[in-house]
Amino acid sequence: MDLSSINPLLFIAGFFVAATPLIFAAIGELVAERAGVLNLGVEGMMIMGAICGFATAVETGSPLLGFVAAAVGGAVLSLLFAFLTQIMLANQVASGLSLTLFGLGFSALLGQNYIGIKPPRLGDVDFGPLGDIPVIGPILLSHDIIVYLGIALVFGVWAVLKFTRAGLVLRAVGENHDAAHALGYKVVRIRTLAIMFGGACAGVGGAYISLIRVPQWTEGMTAGVGWIALALVVFASWRPLRVLLGAYLFGGLVQLQLNLQGVGVAIPVEYLAMSPYVITIVVLVVLSRDANRAPGSLGRIFHASQ
Amino acid sequence: MTFTKLLASAALVAGMATAAFADGDDKTKLGFVFVGPVGDGGWTYEHNVARLAVEEEFGDKVETVFVESVAEGPDSERVMTQMALDGADLIFTTSFGYMDPTINVAAKFPDVKFEHATGYKRADNVSTYGARFYEGRAVQGHIAGKMTKSNTVGYIGSYPIPEVIRGINSAFIHARKANPDVQFKIVWAYTWFDPAKEADAAKVLIEQGADVILQHTDSTAPQAAAQEAGNVITFGQASDMAQYAPKPRVSSIIDNWAPYYIERTKAVMDGTWESKDTWGGIGTGMVGIGDITDAVPADVKAEAEALRDSIGSGEYQPFTGPLKKKDGSDWLAEGENPDDQALLQMNFYVEGIQDDIPQ
Amino acid sequence: MISLVKRPEPSRVFSLAAPLLAVLATFVFGGLLFAALGKDPFLAIRTIFWEPLFGEFAFYYRPQLLIKGAPLVLVAIGLSLGFKAGIWNIGAEGQYIMGALFGAGAGLAFYPAQSVFIFPLMVLAGAFGGWIWAMIPAVLRVKFGTNEILVSLMLVYVAEQFLASMSLGLLKNPEGFGFPGSRNLQQYASAHNAELIAGTGMHWGVVAALIAVIFAYVLLARHRLGFAIRVTGDAPRAARFSGVNPTRLVLFCLGTSGLLAGLAGMFEVAGPSGQVTIDFNVGYGFTAIIVAFLGRLHPVGILLAGGLMALTYIGGDIAQSKLGLPAAAIQVFQGMLLFFLLAFDLFTNYRPRIGRAEVA
């Protein structure tokens, strides 16, 4: 065993890449949940984003256009969920699960001609001489634009929810939709927008996997990231900045596990692989003592005449 | 109870028998049961390529059907039964987990032939087949040993099962022969399919100093990670992954099932099909060695090709004594080769590998 | 403009008509999809829905419907009790795995001894495995107020890792040449959950599912606990006033759903599947959530919904093989069916009114 072959700089830099799909998917879902909508279709929207982004990037040669298409693809799919739950007043848990099933199937149909193709590459952002700063350079300033966008998005969501009127209205709708309705807010419209935002974010997160992290297209390639993102939102107790923390923890544990294996530490891999989930449960128990709780109307159906 | 049971099973067997004989046309009908989607780009993709090759070869004389993403267990048993009921003459079941279901269904349809991939249970109408991928690993190991500058080779495994361990041992033995200082770093992904995790594993290995990555998982994620890193070479797995040639991908192991599928289909048509165990390697073409690119120096390339050819001709076997197990005990004496049974259940590393197999 | 008015009572007509309309709509849109893929839409739909029930080989597929549907119904019945009371166990997949591991483990511990007591012991062990796994989120919710959706979901992944560990380690077949997976319980007479009457598909899991349906029906319609469940779901505050103990309700609902999921896993591993393997679980725990909602959380509805889902799985596989439809197209088709069923359900509880729209 020789722990010295783990390079701490690269180890930590690896967190950012591993966490980015999670960050996008989770921050989108967080906004939807703060508006009172529980969308379990994250995995389906991510995989739609993965194929829409991949196909567009391959056809146009532009990875950035790919990400735009991924956002559109995820948002369009989420509209289906919005229609079911907001207009047709269907149960959100069942609608979300169905959305995942549909998304996995539909993406596979769309992707039939994109197997075994290498997508165009998105380069890292060039910070010029700043990139040469020791420690900070390799850890923070060696990534592609989407990594930074993800972090910026989290702070953006945090600021909007905390400081703006729009954020206040969104939270009001999520806490008590009847009261919000009585105050004249358009609950269905606000929730639909929140759902679409969630879909767009999940789509970008999916495309990050198919265009940058892996990069290739294969059916079902998101392999459960959407579910982890859902867990992450609750882990973060619906606070945007804690999403960042959680995403690095989740991504970091996978990295740590692989790193320890690489240096030959005889660890029982299965038990280390289950550790992020066990830790999440422990953190939940610890966090349960403070006042963070789910939005009051989460998952409940809203109908104006009630 | 016993009587009703007897009656019911008699009725079922009678029903199935008529069903099997009801198929009157003279086309040879082939069924394929796939464990993943045909779009997985790896294991199932290659089996489907072989299915298409059979169609190409025999044209109108065959009809092929397949069902993809069939879960092991009762679902697979149902799909096989359904194919047999629909008049399939030969059914390929392409995952280890289909072993017991294949045997069960085969017992009910004595006139239908079954081919089960990578298993060890046979019957009068069940053959087994598998590929000696470890032969290809020997060639990769040689190139890896010659090419590594950091003397560190990274290996991404799926689950610690004999198939994967065999490949690691074979690669390691030949890497050591080419370069006595070489070390292997082995990381287990504990998944059959999770491209993102494979990418992570490759990155970790590269960060820890590996400049050659071998993979026993099917996605191109490690290839992309190696390309990103620069001075790292990789080998294609399952399919050629030529889109990453000439570098990082310097060669590959290709699952080439087509010759075998064509041969067995022909045997059914001719009525010469018999139950047997086939373990094909480089010699029979079941294990293809993808083009070695110019990123490999000419002398190394020539050596690797010579190794490939000597394995292919049967002149040399990758596991040839003297070899010791990792714990220092003797395994093979000078010039000795293990029998297939020993290869099949290999559950130890050879001497020199530092890691332990996770238990 | 069209607006919705809540019906005072759920419409009886629509509770029957909505599923039919949904199926019809799925035929139309699914047919368009199949046509777009270059297949004969009528043939495809006929193959999926008709072939397993009344086709040439229905004698084989009908029993298979029981085998495929039973675990779905068994799990969904348990989930529906909690869902009715607003207690969200979405980790049935994990409880299903743990039931299978405990059940198979109990049986294999006695291998190769033969005894009539082994199978009943496995049933108890399987039920216990599922129950204890569901008690984790239950106790955490009761003691600490943690969210049971998340804890139960997290425990699915933990259970999956246990499953891999057991398949590669403790439960690995010693005569299996080092391959992962346990001994096949189908070849161990005392532990085999065999068909009760050969060729009917009727095994103990199917019997258990039917008993669970009756049990849930009686519980909800006649028992005080059933009343507590309904009242808690409809009006949590009123429930407290009427003397419902929320702690006991959480423990009961999660415990029961875990127990039934564990049983489903145990019957599956001892019967149709036979083996503990890395990929033993095939998503019954998640599909059962959909089944529970499709069945409107009503025991009889769940029975029908479980049958319908099983039908689309079996018919879907037939359509793949016979017509060359990709598995993905079947998934999309199933997704559509679920969407339409969920959407048309609206008209059971609401009626559309044409006129001035209310602000929504």
Per-residue pLDDT of chain C (360 residues; tens, 9 = 90+): 577 788 887 778 887 888 888 889 999 999 999 999 999 999 999 999 999 999 889 999 999 999 999 999 999 999 999 998 888 898 999 999 999 999 999 999 988 888 889 999 999 999 999 999 999 999 999 988 887 887 898 899 899 989 998 998 888 888 887 788 899 988 888 888 888 888 788 899 999 999 999 999 999 888 888 888 888 877 777 777 777 888 889 999 999 999 999 999 999 999 999 899 988 988 899 899 889 988 888 999 999 999 999 999 999 999 999 999 999 999 999 899 889 988 888 888 888 777 654 444
In this structure, what token pair is assigned to residue A276? 């992020």
Contacts of residue B220 in chain A, CB cutoff 8 Å? 118, 214, 216
A216 interface with B at CB cutoff 8 Å: yes
pLDDT in tens, B276-300: 999 999 999 999 999 999 999 999 9
HEC states along chain B? Answer: CHHHHHHHHHHHHHHHHHHHHHCCCCCEEEEEECCCCHHHCCHHHHHHHHHHHHHHHHHHHEEEEEECCCCCCHHHHHHHHHHHHCCCCEEEECCHHHHHHHHHHHHHCCCCEEEEECCCCCECCEEEEEECHHHHHHHHHHHHHHHCCCCEEEEEECCCCHHHHHHHHHHHHHHHHHCCCCEEEEEECCCCCCHHHHHHHHHHHHHCCCCEEEECCCCCHHHHHHHHHCCCEEEEEECCCHHHCCCCEEEEEEECCHHHHHHHHHHHHHCCCCCCEEEECCCCCCEEEECCCCCCCHHHHHHHHHHHHHHHCCCCCCCCCCEEECCCCEEECCCCCCCHHHHHCCCCCECCCCCCCCC
Calculate what percentage of chain B has a pLDDT beyond 90: 70
B120 interface with C at CB cutoff 8 Å: yes
Contact A234 C150 (CB under 8 A): yes
B352 interface with C at CB cutoff 8 Å: no
* Alpha helix (H) residue ranges in A61-186: 63-82, 92-110, 136-140, 145-163, 165-175, 177-182
Predicted TM-score (pTM) of this structure: 0.89
Contacts of residue B81 in chain C, CB cutoff 8 Å? 60
In this structure, what token pair is assigned to residue B30? 């082939």
Rounded distance, CA C143 to CA C137, Å?
10
C157 interface with B at CB cutoff 8 Å: no
In this structure, what token pair is assigned to residue B170? 């074979």
Residue C21's identity, in one-letter code, is L
**Which residues face B176 on adjacent strands?**
none
pLDDT in tens, A151-210: 999 999 999 999 999 999 999 999 999 999 999 999 999 999 999 999 999 999 999 999
In this structure, what token pair is assigned to residue B326? 């990792």
**Which residues face B128 on adjacent strands?**
B116, B277
Contact C326 A109 (CB under 8 A): yes
**Using alpha carbons only, what angle is made at residue B167 by residues B165 and B168, rounded to the nearest 5 degrees?**
65
Rounded distance, CA C301 to CA C212, Å?
13
Q: Check whether B19 has a pLDDT greater than 80.
A: no
Contact B69 C327 (CB under 8 A): yes
Contact C155 A90 (CB under 8 A): no
Q: Please tell me the predicted confidence (pLDDT) of residue C119.
A: 93
Q: Please tell me the predicted confidence (pLDDT) of residue A1.
A: 47
Q: Check whether A256 has a pLDDT greater than 60.
A: yes
Selecting from C64, C198, C277 the residue whose C-beta is nearest the C-beta of B97 gives C277
Contacts of residue B1 in chain C, CB cutoff 8 Å? 197
Rounded distance, CA C48 to CA B75, Å?
16
**pLDDT, averaged across chain B:** 89
Calculate what percentage of chain A has a pLDDT beyond 70: 96
In this structure, what token pair is assigned to residue C252? 């009961």
Q: At what angle do helices C327-344 and A92-110 cross, to 10 degrees?
A: 150
Residue B131 contacts residue B280 (beta carbons within 8 Å): yes
Rounded distance, CA C138 to CA B23, Å?
56
Contact A266 B358 (CB under 8 A): yes
Selecting from C3, C154, C342 the residue whose C-beta is nearest the C-beta of A281 gives C154
Q: Check whether A134 has a pLDDT greater than 90.
A: no
Q: Which of A187-191, A288-292, B79-83, C115-119 has the lowest mean pLDDT?
A: A288-292
Q: Please tell me the predicted confidence (pLDDT) of residue B11.
A: 47
- Greater pLDDT, B235 or C296: B235
Q: Please tell me the predicted confidence (pLDDT) of residue A102.
A: 94
DSSP structural state of residue C31: H
Contacts of residue C346 in chain A, CB cutoff 8 Å? 88-90
How close B262 comes to chain A (CA, Å)?
A: 25
User: Which band of pLDDT confidence, cut at 50, 70 and 90, is reported for residue B358?
Assistant: confident
Residue A67's identity, in one-letter code, is F
Q: Please tell me the predicted confidence (pLDDT) of residue C356.
A: 56
Task: Please compute the mean of the pLDDT values over residues B124-147 and round it to a whole number.
Answer: 95
Residues in chain A, how many? 306
Q: Please tell me the predicted confidence (pLDDT) of residue A3.
A: 67
C59 interface with B at CB cutoff 8 Å: yes
Selecting from C59, C199, C317 the residue whose C-beta is nearest the C-beta of B67 gives C317
- Greater pLDDT, C93 or A231: C93
Q: Check whether A143 has a pLDDT greater than 90.
A: no
Residue B105's identity, in one-letter code, is V
Q: Give me the residue label for tokens 């039908």.
A: C311
Contact B195 A268 (CB under 8 A): no
Q: Check whether B152 has a pLDDT greater than 80.
A: yes
Contacts of residue A266 in chain B, CB cutoff 8 Å? 355-356, 358
**Selected residues 291-350 of chain B with any CB under 8 Å from a CB in chain C:** 344-347
Contacts of residue B232 in chain A, CB cutoff 8 Å? none
| Chain B neighbours, 3+ Cβ pairs < 8 A | A, C
Q: Please tell me the predicted confidence (pLDDT) of residue A2.
A: 61
DSSP structural state of residue A87: I
Of A255, A249, A250, A151, residue with least CA distance to A208 = A151
Task: Please compute the mean of the pLDDT values over residues B170-176 and round it to a whole number.
Answer: 96
Q: Check whether B234 has a pLDDT greater than 90.
A: yes
Residue C127's identity, in one-letter code, is A
Q: Check whether B13 has a pLDDT greater than 60.
A: no
Number of cross-chain residue pairs from B and C with Cβ atoms under 8 Å apart:
117
User: Which band of pLDDT confidence, cut at 50, 70 and 90, is reported for residue A290?
Assistant: low
In order of A96, A193, B2, B69, the CA distances from A83 in angstroms are 12, 11, 56, 30
Rounded distance, CA B174 to CA B290, Å?
18
Q: CA torsion sign, B49 to B52 to B54 to B56?
A: negative
DSSP structural state of residue A210: I
**pLDDT, averaged across chain A:** 88
3-state secondary structure of A124: strand
CA nearest to C316 within chain B = B67
**Selected residues 241-300 of chain A with any CB under 8 Å from a CB in chain B:** 254-255, 258-259, 261-264, 266-270, 273
Q: Please tell me the predicted confidence (pLDDT) of residue C315.
A: 94
Rounded distance, CA A40 to CA A32, Å?
11
Rounded distance, CA A218 to CA B201, Å?
18
Contacts of residue A117 in chain B, CB cutoff 8 Å? 243
Interface test with B, best of A5, A209, A214, A225 (most B CBs within 10 A): A214
Contacts of residue C168 in chain B, CB cutoff 8 Å? 159-161
For residues C15, C19, C24, C30, the Cα torsion angle rounded to the nearest 10 degrees is 150
Task: Please compute the mean of the pLDDT values over residues A237-265 and round it to a whole number.
Answer: 86
How close B79 comes to chain C (CA, Å)?
A: 7
How close A173 comes to chain B (CA, Å)?
A: 36
How close A37 comes to chain C (CA, Å)?
A: 14
Contacts of residue B344 in chain C, CB cutoff 8 Å? 177-178
Selecting from C64, C200, C313 the residue whose C-beta is nearest the C-beta of B8 gives C200
3-state secondary structure of A144: strand
Rounded distance, CA C260 to CA A206, Å?
35
